[in-house]
Chain A
């Protein structure tokens, strides 16, 4: 049995999903789009159900990809039942989505979630009355305490089995009802539409100017007639009512909801200042907003490194031990030298040099989840609005950039919450300048080797350089390419909440495990390829000037000569770094045979660089073409090869010019 889980953003849907499915979740993507698709399994009393977590949405319109994904899932996959999660503290607004679902005529159960919060705020909800008025089962739930969960699923199963056929209708008033009837009449001989949808619902959607259905009717035989009819209706209603039909429809829905809410809930007062509001007065204030934000970010980064440092040590020790063990074991077992080199130099060293980055990556994602789940992320968006304006964007896009510091791929994917195309494109084109966790190891390695005692300031400058470049290119793009397209900044500020440990870890694991998967597949294969290329043609000395990898790197090395790192090793590292930027360090690890030991790679890398060329190499690594995973995300999100190629091209060219510029100026000024 398939169950769709839908609800407004911040209604506690994710925590309900976590409680229903436990750790048995699978994260994938919806076909064709990069909106995350989470599927989990619920089992209780021998019954089981597949639960599909739909994107949080306020409505079933067609503004953003999220809304379309949610709607298409319900229309096309036809889950046996849909559970709509509503926030008990804002029942009225949440019921707006419920009413839209009811109009679609699908089997529905309503979960009124966060009942404890509502009680705290003295909002009384009569569940039975609500259920009666809406004509569907309603269950009160408190997700983190598992209250109402089994009852909810029981009712969902019952509805799925019973397949109720009552039709739900809102009376939209004489004027609109007449037009609905007329539209239904015209469409009634379209077999295709009739098979897929309730015609009344289609008529309402058409009156709401829904882009999806305007396209859908183009396929019907009476497309021209319907189009004509619609523009006549629009004129007629606008003239007689002084309003567009879509706003009239929304108003009527709210009127219907207001009556239900009045009958079923008791509220004490209109506005009461909550603890959240009091905290917000400080965190969003003109004076304290930015300092607090800076402090939070500083703590996130320094804690990430402080906490993961000892763990990195353990992993290094482990792989060092494993490498030795393997080498000794294989020699005594009489394994050929080539095979032994493959295992030790290739697999253990290569993979080990990448796995050391698991602790900082997981820590980073843990802190990101903490910011998100506690509600601070939305405040950061507000505080950073001014900086984002410098990019021609608004505060909401800041969240994508922040995630981009962890990994560019989810950062690019996160732009889907931005409604205007201009905002999305600018964000997608500039997020790759955010120094992701994969680039950090290169900075740590080279800054540690060449700028001892000043590593912090060097690494920090590279992060700042990325931000400056993002601001500059964003500004140019918004001036040159996307004129006029207005963007709207509207975003909910969820109340501050203390995140649950379970929620945090599930969140962290979801994001972090993709890195492990990447390390196990892409990175592992690349490391093997590098090892093979270092050993071919047959008989060549490992990673010597005659090996294929040296010839390959040597072929492109002259390009980087003016930037100061014209060695084949550096070129090969950059070349393979495209597959995953973690590989840049891994390449040095494999080529030099230094393994995962930071100090050894460090001294090995030292022979290829001078302090100045190390700096320009770091600049190049920061800016040049995003890794393949990011390029893939850019392709999917922009849905355009032209933009994708543009992103690859301009970053690489920009990186080269900056690296060359810095090197030449540095040399001129007497640095080396």
Chain B
């Protein structure tokens, strides 16, 4: 388990928990980032991340990405 902000671009992961203030959690959940959902990190250099949640592409600030805990999914 690690924060989404530590994921390598191109890898898939499953969301385990969205920590942080309830306002952040609520917002992220409403936008589709919630427990059990598959998230793929597309860009992760210094600034905000670009992620894919199903068909949705999103910019996610690094601070927020720290709060999303994921498990890396290893695809065969």
Contact = CB atoms under 8 A, between A and B. Distances in A.
B73 to A, nearest CB: 10
B59 A395 contact: yes
B17 to A, nearest CB: 10
A63 B27 CA distance: 9
B43 A284 contact: yes
A493 B23 contact: no
A489 B57 contact: no
Contacts of B50: 280, 284, 382, 493
A121 B55 CA distance: 9
Nearest to B35: A251
Interface stretch (A85-93, A195-203, A612-620, A644-652): A85-93
A489 B64 CA distance: 7
B59 A247 contact: no
Interface string B9-24: 0001000001000111
Interface in B28-76: 28-32, 34-35, 38, 40, 42-43, 45-48, 50, 52, 54-61, 63-64
A59 B30 contact: yes
B27 A386 contact: no
A486 interface: yes
Interface centre among B18, B34, B40, B48 (most CB of A within 10 A): B48
Interface string A92-113: 1100100000000000000000
Given A61-B30, A381-B59, A286 B45 contact: yes
Interface string A261-297: 0000000001100001100110011100000000000
Interface residues of A, number: 47
B26 interface: yes
Interface residues of B, number: 35
Contacts of A156: none
A498 interface: no
Contact of B30 (A58, A284, A395, A419): A58
A494 B22 CA distance: 26
A209 B57 CA distance: 28
Contacts of B64: 488-490
Interface in A381-411: 381-382, 385-386, 389, 394-396
A386 B26 contact: no
B57 A385 contact: no
A246 interface: yes
A11 to B, nearest CB: 11
Interface in A471-509: 486-495
A254 interface: yes
A372 interface: no
A489 B42 contact: no
Contact of B56 (A90, A378, A395): A90
A244 B26 CA distance: 10
Contact of A247 (B22, B38, B52): B22
A250 interface: yes
Given A90-B56, A385-B48, A492 B22 contact: no
A378 B59 CA distance: 9
Contacts of B35: 251
B47 A271 contact: no
Contacts of A487: 61
Given A247-B29, A385-B47, A488 B34 contact: no
Contacts of B24: 488
A394 B40 CA distance: 22
A29 B28 CA distance: 29
A54 B40 CA distance: 32
B59 to A, nearest CB: 5
A276 B52 CA distance: 12
A496 to B, nearest CB: 10
Given A89-B55, A121-B55, A284-B50, A490 B30 contact: no
Contacts of B29: 247, 250-251, 254
B61 A394 contact: yes
A486 B30 contact: no
A493 B27 CA distance: 16
Interface in A219-248: 244, 246-247
A59 B64 CA distance: 19
7 contacts: A61-B26, A90-B56, A271-B38, A286-B46, A382-B48, A389-B47, A493-B57
8 closest A-B pairs by beta carbon, nearest first, are A489-B61, A493-B57, A93-B32, A59-B30, A250-B29, A491-B59, A89-B55, A385-B47
